[in-house]
Structure 1
Amino acid sequence: MKEKLVIIDGNSLINRAFYALPQLANSEGLISNGVFGFATILVRIINEIKPKYICVALDYGKHTFRTDMFAEYKGTRKGTPEELKSQFPILRDMLSAMGIQHIEKEGIEADDIIGTLTRRFDTENIIVTGDKDSFQLINDHTWVMFTKRGVTETINYDEAQLFNDYGLKPYQIIELKSLMGDSSDNIPGVSGVGEKTALSLLYKYETLDGVYNHIDEITGKLKEKLIDNKEMALLSHTLATIKTDCEFDCQLKDCEYQFPFSHSVLAFFKKYQFNSLLKKDELFESANTQEFQYESSIEQYNVQDVEIINNIITDIKKEKKFYLNLNGGVSLFVGNKEYNLSEKVDLLNPSIEYEQFFVALKDVFEDENIKKCVFDYKSILHQLNKYNITLNGVVFDTYLARYLINNNNKSNITFEDMLIENNLNLNYYAYNLKKLEEIYLDNLKQLDLLFLFNEIELPLTKVLYNMEIVGFKIDREVINQLDKKYDSELQTVSQEIFDLAGCEFNLNSPKQLGEILFDKLNLYHGNNKKKSTSVEVLNGLKNDHPIIEKIIRYRQISKLYSTYIKAFEELINKDTGKIYTTFNQTLTSTGRLSSSDPNLQNIPVRSDEGKELRKMFVPSFKDGYIVSADYSQIELRLLAAFSGDEKLIEAFKRGDDIHALTASQVFGVDIKDVTSQMRRDAKAINFGIIYGISDYGLSQNIGCTKKVAKDYIDMYFAKYPLVKQYMDSNIEYCKANGYVKTHFGRIRFIPEIRNSNYNIRQLGERCAMNMPLQGTASDVIKLAMIRVYNRMKKENLKSKLILQIHDELIVDCEPTELDKVTNLLKEEMENCVELAVKLEVNVSYGKDWYEAK
């Protein structure tokens, strides 16, 4: 029995996979759906066919001997999408890791490599392809696994199956294309002869030569076509024939491969997050042998008595480092021992109570000199706080590390997700922290993220935890007054709406409101067939009926009332009179913090009613102050510093009004003649530039034509050419690398920048322009928070940092510490980073948050 050689048409298979599967991207933004599909069918081939040899044939380029013969060969094909083109290097990397031979040679196609291999070796050959051209290669020792649909449905073709489906012998595939041509390869054939006619000729005359040898038996227009196009038919015959005698280096032994796969394949699958393949343990048997042997040596204990706790403490003091996971129970790994304390009551295996366990380990938990690696540091701090314990000496948090490495992925990542992603044993919750630390630490080093992790994100966690437990005091009297005020106005506006409508209805029902507006009041709804009552629709109807203004007003007040007044009343802690928010450190791809439950970063500031809400936020100290410290135009200052544009840098150094200066330059007037409207428009231009705004976007913002907006943008860049150069350089860097970085190394992967869709690609370019600025601003305020917190702690201040809102910090200030706090905030925030443009901070304060702004 002959050994099996699988020959894969690499271009065909990756193309099929690319179009069959959604555009999967890993955390680095690298699209790899084609390679994933390729790997999936390759694994299936190995498992089902069990070949001794595998070789992958790839096209080298567009220029081949066929294009020399016929320049239009394959000339009608669309270009390969960038999202697919970028996957060929990834495919080569995977094949190299697998030890699978892959061949590409200048001047010939993958088909010719396949044809040559089928005739070079004395093997049973299996061609894997979605291209029917390869049917011509079928013989008694070569058959085709044809990918019929996507990468999962295949049909096997030998001579019998080919004749059954097409009524042709293998060599007649060439004859068929000679007559009917091939639109996909732009093989001309005989003009006017289609598949049906070509088949009828072959059934009768068998070959192209047979057709022309019996040309006199053929009559009418068909005969004319054949005679007129004989030269093209003969050319097509040559073009359609796969060469079987090409010269390239490949011995049969070169096509041997390693299976089960090595550790390098495992690492490759992890990098590209081929999770379904990672779950197939049988693929990586040899790669995991050493790890399995180590895991089998780990001693596991259930914490059942004080003696075991004493053993844990002894081990920790000896090792000076341990791994702690409080996800779904307590797991602690130290040395080569894993200790577990379940949160579930197990009568057969009684265990120590949580409180007894934590209190016993309080000293080692709080010892700065004993290193700890954890999952979700902030969550652990909150859990330990119940027992009046803190956790010091934390040197690694796998949750934070993964966020920095994979910030484009889902934010609600679980520990189990991490284990699955990294193909780790689900049975070892604490030991796997050690494995994850090794993996993520290596990733952080490779991506140059160690400074960001060690100096910003990890120390920030404790700052955020302390802000969360301090909370923000609410004045109950003020919130009660606001409740009565808004409730009264809602009643009044509701009645006014009912009077104008001539009936009462549910104002919170879009359906009922639509019926009132468009059926009862007969307001014009144009193409609005669904009778939408969205804010856009209502704004368009403002001049049509007085009821519209009332409805808009009702919605504004109703939202403030339900979202802030009523919701906050429920959230006020009865004992402390405070509201406690949660700061999300691992949510955004730019590094910005967010706030939830409730969101205190989203208190409205544009409307008078929104601003009034801030009156309920007050100091917790008697006669105290709320202090606000806000970076002034930080992203514009960063733009000046990073672009190196001297004109912009000097403007900031002089303390110029940057918006007035831009207005003067763009509108061509002296700076003293700049109107308030000009300054507002210039402000829109300045901040629009940061966000890569288009001429259309700017025209919408300032109410002008696209042409005028384009002229403004062009004038801005003409004045500050290095700004334009800097923005363009961000785009080019992102196109080349798939990501951009902040000043401190934070990475944001932007797969959109390589998308074939113009609008999506434009979005990617805007992200590439803005992220280094917005992300750096986020990093800066995080550094500032750490410095402010540490200094307040060092100086034993009673005042507390309680809130961060983008470029602003809020402090609950003890009255005698006001001068210290205002000076401290300005000093630490302005000096936390040294740039070509000095950062500027505005500090204000008041008896409540409203006054502080």
Structure 2
Amino acid sequence: MAKPQKKLFLLDAMALIYRAHFAFSKAPRITTRGLNTSAVFGFMNALLEVLNKEKPTHIGVAFDSARKTFRHEQFPMYKATRQSQPEDISVAIPYVKKVIEAMNIPMLIMDGYEADDIIGTLAKRASLAGFEVFMMTPDKDYGQLVEDHIYIYKPAFMGKSAEKLGVSEILERWQIQDISQVTDMLGLMGDSVDNIPGIPGVGEKTAQKLIAEFGSVENLIANANQLKGKLKENVVQFGQQGLLSKQLATIHIDVPVPFDEDALILSEPDKPRLSALLDELEFRQMRRRLLGEDYDGPVPQTAPTQKSTGQMDLFSAPAASTQSKSVAEPTGADDLPFIFDESSATGATAPEPAKPKSRRAKADVAVVVPEASGASATPVPDSPAFLNFEMEEVEWENKPTGPRRTIYSVVHDYRLVDTAELRASLAHYLSLQEAICFDSETTAIDPVEADLVGLAFAYRKGEAFYVPVPPDRQEAQAIVDVFKPVLENPGITKIGQNLKYDLLMLKKYGVEVQGKLFDTMIAHYLIEPEQRHNMDDMARKYLNYEPVSIESLIGRKGPKQATMREVDIEKVVEYAGEDADITLQLRDTFLPQLETNKVTKLFEQVEMPLVQVLADMELEGITVDTNALADLSATLETDMRQVQQEIFQLAGGEFNIGSPKQLGEILFDRLKLDKNAKKTKTGQYATGEEILSKLEEEHEIARKILDFRELIKLKNTYVDALPLLISQRDGRIHTSFNQAVAATGRLSSTNPNLQNIPIRTPRGQEIRKAFVPRSEEYLIMSADYSQIELRIMASFSGDETMLEAFNQGIDIHTSTASKVFRVPLTEVTPDMRRKAKTINFGIIYGISAFGLSQRLKIPRKEAAQIIEDYFVEFPAVKAYMDKSIGQARNCGYAETILGRRRYLRDINSRNMTDRMFAERNAINAPIQGSAADMLKIAMIRIHDYIRENRLKSRMILTVHDEVVFDAHRDELDMLRENVNSIMQTAIPLAVKMETGIGVGKNWLEAH
């Protein structure tokens, strides 16, 4: 019987950590404690991919030594130009090492050597011992190690599947004849990341030609006289530098480490330790993947100082722990311990809390009924007569250390209110309160389609009341009517989590909730804009409390998932009561924090009134002409076929346009559009939008392919999808407006996402034609701010040229072009205006010379000159930008005109890439956020105006800086005049605000 294949995976930890960090850089994973776990999460995903798909028998993870290596002795400037390690990576490294320890995987570290040297040495020795060896890394330098039985394993990344690179793939990638020539290529090219100099003027293409002709760096130098011109001069002058670079790029395979295959055997993880760590990192899904749904093993209160498994390291010594800082001294070449080097992590601290995005879904629930709480029956004057009891005082403060509280460990009393007498008693006591918390349980997540299942109320910590509502609409209405006076009482503050949902539900039952609102989701959004805002996460962070899971009640998502109405009433009482109780606790926590962050006024006067506005808009919905969509779908189908035939004619034959592989072969092999076309990691040519846009001027086929892709997107994503979103209740589309998603303060929408409807192409604009008024008595009216962000920039900077242009009605782009290109206004050409427009909008986002050159398709030097000239002519704008960055560096956040904050965790980062991204946000966030504030205030005032004057017209949509109305024909003139006035004066500034207002039989005509 054949022995099973021995399969060893050696992971380059730092390469995988860096890759994961930057993959999440634009949307980092932040825990409720403010810890950036992106790098840890990405590393674990890569590790689990290997364990699950590749089934290695042996595994090890190598780290670079924190101390200088032999390469620094050869070349003191080795890696000297590297940017400082991002702080979030410094924080992540100890966690990655803890993960590896908990997984019982050996860590491979040795002073004076880098991870690639350790991996190279072990790979060669393992191969001789009969292993198939896979070096897991995205680093191209490992190509020099590949041979029979040794491969590079590039894990899946950004939608690309994993790759296994053997000898043939490496030779093809470098266009060389022998694996040994990889180091020659690296020596000639150099490496800017590691500050390996190479030979000046030699890039990859030149290096390939030189190696093809001369075979090696040494032979090239010996025959430099055969070269010509500047290349000859550089090889002669910098030949020894090329040799040094080759040596620096060579991975050493003689590191003094023995190969002990038993120490590398894949072992079972330390489940209790891993469970505790995954809880700390808030990797709940990953915890289920690794430990299973039902794992509830013991969690160690303190981490052990040594591995408890008894597993030996590669040198027969007990594996070192992350807790142990003492390391045994080496006693000989064959007895050198692999150590855990903590020096790279010393002084690392968790970053300041960042900011979020969600909420405990209304259709969710979960809880197993606990034993009786043990509450006594001593009367309490402010409780309903049927709930008179005296509870033991419960401590709810956030205690980050110690076990997390649950419904089973905290004294509470959640009561069922299911008779007329009990409902009347509860309504009476609710009416006596200054503030009450309420929550609705429903049959679905979509409030327009859902029915009410019950209402939960709370007004004192530790107690709550649940009122079930039957499916019969008449009976349900009668029960809701009992609480209508309380809910409509303007003197009682209403507290809730994602209150818009509850307001929408109650509107369907004839209840208009009045009084001050306190939405814990929105409050937390202002306190921590980029963290998660769902109730469960906030309860964990601020109350050290783990709420009941919805899935424990209704099951996982899918066709077999139950609804709340099907769950045992006792379980619903506990779940719903907990919802209301915990939300009440969170409100008490957030109230002082709003004051501390100076956003109470923004919360009370803008965000809370807006909740009512958005609820009304969502309930109104908008009519969609399905016939128009069907006609457009047919037209798009015809257009697609026509463009497809045109592509085939230009390509010289039919092929699958949707296949990147076939498309790349047509463009670059058959038509030879780009001689320098690069292939992706999968060996295919890149054919993304950016690549095709660059080829437009070279060949018509590139434009046709972009057109074809646009047609497919329009048809599948919008035209054919919109009819599926029409409500069965009223035949209208009810988009959901998201108030707590964008950190800038802007609103977003889902189902459908109105912000993403394409309007730059004629076919894309046709989609808006399908949005129509509700009847012949109405028209669509659109009101749109004109250049709102540029006007705010003018006001904030106080730039006289910009203010004069806006206040005197001069076209801002023409004015800018006149200044930058130093010509009179009358001599500004369309091309000058186009360039000025690009820089006007780009400057708000901190555009670079490279970015401007890409957009204008001009040389970078010319773009840099345009930016320089702009700042000469608009010095106040430059001063504003510098001031914004300086203020953000001092306080750690940027702020809008109303005090909305955007926290910039990396504004003082040593890493240039992270710091520059934060600096761009420091400039843009106050402008974009102030534009959002202005639109919100305008919407609130317009909503109030419509209600106070009892107009038939309704505000139904908002997209970017635009508001859309179902406008009654008799009210058009009055509505237009007042909307224009309200929008222009929403926030008084030094600049004149302007709006464009249009009217039509559909959204396209109006806009």
Fold conserved between structures, TM > 0.5: yes
Conservation of the 8 A alpha-carbon contact between 2:30 and 2:531: no
Q: Tell me if the contact between 2:83 and 2:910 (Cα under 8 Å) persists in the aligned partners.
A: no
* 1:321 to 2:435 alignment: yes
More displaced stretch, 626-635 vs 146-155? 146-155
Question: Where does residue 457 of structure 2 map in the other structure?
Answer: 332
Looking at structure 2, the residues matched to 507 and 636 of structure 1 have their Cα atoms a distance apart, in angstroms, of 41
Please tell me whether residue 393 in structure 1 is matched to residue 482 in structure 2: no
The worse-fitting range, judged by mean Cα deviation, of 667-676 and 318-327 is 318-327
Q: Superposed, which structure 2 residues align to 1:652-731 within 5 Å?
A: 652-731=806-885
Report the Cα distance in structure 2 between the residues aligned to 1:30 and 1:740, rounded to whole angstroms.
Answer: 20
Identify the match of residue 375 of structure 1 among 497, 500, 510: 497
Quote the Cα distance in structure 1 between the aligned partners of 2:993 and 2:322: 61
> 1:360-439 alignment to 2 at 5 Å?
360-410=482-532, 413-425=533-545, 426=547, 428-439=578-589
Change (3 A) 1:550 1:835: closer
Q: Is the 8 A contact 1:28 1:739 kept in 2?
A: no
- 2: distance between equivalents of 1:611 and 1:624? 21
Q: Which residue of 1 aligns with 2:630?
A: 480
Matched residue type, 1:718: V
332-341 vs 565-574, greater mean Cα deviation: 332-341
2:722 and 2:482 map into 1 onto residues whose CA distance is: 38
Residue 684 of structure 1, CA deviation: 1.4
Contact 1:514 1:532 in 2 (8 A): yes
Question: Contact conserved, 1:28 with 1:738, CA < 8 A, in 2?
Answer: no
Aligned to 2:747: 593
1:256-299 superposed Cα distances (whole Å, 9 cap, x missing partner): xxxxxxx99976x7xxxx6xx464569xxxxxxxxx9xx74x54
> Residue 590 of structure 2 corresponds to which residue in structure 1?
440
1:545/1:720 Cα in 2 relative to 1: closer, same or farther (>3 Å)?
A: closer
Aligned to 1:258: none
Q: Could you tell me how far 1:708 is from its partner in structure 2?
A: 2.7
SS at match of 2:511: coil
Please identify which structure carries the higher helix content.
1
Q: Distance in 1 between matches of 2:665 and 2:940?
A: 55
With over 3 angstroms needed to count, the CA separation of the structure-2 counterparts of 1:388 and 1:153, relative to structure 1, is same
Q: Which amino acid aligns with 2:953?
A: S
Give the one of 323, 333, 357 matched to 1:154. 323
Q: How far is 1:800 from its partner?
A: 0.9
Q: How does 1:618-637 map to 2 (within 5 A)?
A: 618-637=772-791
1:257-656 equivalence runs, <5 A: 277=401, 279-280=403-404, 296=411, 299-326=413-440, 330-335=455-460, 338-341=463-466, 357-410=479-532, 413-425=533-545, 426=547, 428-498=578-648, 506-514=656-664, 526-528=677-679, 529-542=683-696, 547-573=701-727, 576-656=730-810
Is residue 827 from structure 1 mapped to residue 981 from structure 2 by the alignment? yes
1:809 maps onto 2:963 in alignment: yes
Would you say the 8 A contact 2:629–2:720 is kept in 1?
no
Tell me, in whole angstroms, the C-alpha distance in 2 between the residues paired with 1:846 and 1:77.
Answer: 60
Check the 8 A contact 1:27/1:408 in 2, yes or no. Answer: no
User: Within 1, Cα distance between the matches of 2:668 and 2:829?
Assistant: 43
Residues 740-749 or 644-653, more deviating: 644-653
Contiguous gaps of at least 5 residues in structure 2: 1-16, 22-27, 40-79, 92-303, 308-312, 333-342, 345-393, 443-453, 548-573
* Paired residue type of 1:486: L
TM-score with structure 2 setting the length: 0.56
What are the superposed Cα offsets for residues 505-538 of structure 1, whole Å, 9 maximum, x if unpaired?
5544444545665677777673223134323344
What amino acid is aligned across from residue 507 of structure 2 in structure 1?
Answer: N
1:124-135 alignment, distance < 5 Å: none
Q: How does 1:207-226 map to 2 (within 5 A)?
A: none
Q: List per-residue Cα deviations over 1:639-674 (Å, max 9, x = no partner).
A: 122223344333332222222111111101111111
Secondary structure of 1:813's match? Answer: strand
- Bigger-Rg structure (1/2): 1
Query: Contact between 2:32 and 2:541, CA under 8 Å: does it hold in 1?
Result: no
After superposition, the Cα gap between the structure-2 partners of 1:589 and 1:805, relative to the gap in structure 1 and judged at 3 Å, is same
Change beyond 3 A, Cα 1:151–1:452: farther
- Distance apart, 1:33 and its partner CA: 12
Name stretches of at least 5 consecutive residues in structure 1 with no aligned partner.
1-17, 35-75, 88-143, 168-183, 186-262, 283-291, 346-351
Tell me if the contact between 2:955 and 2:965 (Cα under 8 Å) persists in the aligned partners. Answer: yes
Among candidates 726, 745, 752, match of residue 906 of structure 2: 752
CA contact (8 A) 2:305 2:322 kept: no
1:352-380 Cα distance to aligned partner (Å, 9 max, x none): 98655433212212222222111111111
Change beyond 3 A, Cα 1:614–1:145: closer
Instruction: Return closer, same or farther for 1:279/1:77 CA change in 2, 3 Å cut-off.
Output: farther
Distance 1:798 1:673, change over 3 A: same
Q: Secondary structure at the match of 1:630?
A: strand
Amino acid at match of 1:725: A
AA partner of residue 518 (structure 2) = F
**Structure 1: which amino acid aligns with 2:589?**
I
Q: Which moved more, 1:771-780 or 1:554-563?
A: 554-563
**SS in structure 2 opposite 1:323?**
strand
Conserved? CA contact 2:83–2:911, under 8 Å: no
Distance 1:300 1:727, change over 3 A: same
Counterparts in 2 of 1:77-92, with a 5 A limit?
83=87
Q: Deviations over 1:672-716 (max 9, x none)?
A: 111122112111122122111112222222233333323322332
Q: Can you list the C-alpha shifts for 1:216-251, whole angstroms capped at 9, x where unaligned? A: xxxxxxxxxxxxxxxxxxxxxxxxxxxxxxxxxxxx
| Change in CA separation of 1:766 and 1:524 when aligned onto 2, cut-off 3 Å | closer
The aligned counterpart of 2:107 is: none
Matched, 1:818 2:972: yes
Q: Would you say the 8 A contact 1:374–1:394 is kept in 2?
A: no
Deviation sequence 1:701-732 (CA, Å, 0-9, x none): 22333333233223322233222121111111
Does structure 2 retain, via aligned residues, the 8 Å contact 1:29–1:738?
A: no
Residues 174-224 of structure 1 show CA distances to partners (whole Å, capped at 9, x for unaligned) of: xxxxxxxxxx99xxxxxxxxxxxxxxxxxxxxxxxxxxxxxxxxxxxxxxx
CA offsets per residue over residues 752-793 of structure 1, 9 Å max, x none?
Answer: 323322122111100101100010000100000000111011
Call closer, same or farther: CA 1:799–1:491 in 2, change over 3 Å: same
Structure 1 counterpart of 2:946, one-letter code: M
Over aligned residues, Cα RMSD in angstroms? 4.1
The answer (yes or no) to whether the contact 2:32–2:537 under 8 Å persists in 1 is no
Distance 1:279 1:721, change over 3 A: farther
Q: Percent identity?
A: 36
1:623 positional shift: 4.9
CA distance in 1, matches of 2:637, 2:305: 72
| CA–CA distance in structure 2, aligned partners of residues 542 and 429 of structure 1 | 56
Separation in 2, partners of 1:775, 1:546: 41
Q: Is the 8 A contact 1:366 1:390 kept in 2?
A: yes
TM-score, structure 1 length as denominator?
A: 0.65
Alignment-mate amino acid for residue 538 of structure 2: M
Tell me if 1:849 matches 2:971. Answer: no
TM alignment of 1:720-799, pairs within 5 A: 720-799=874-953
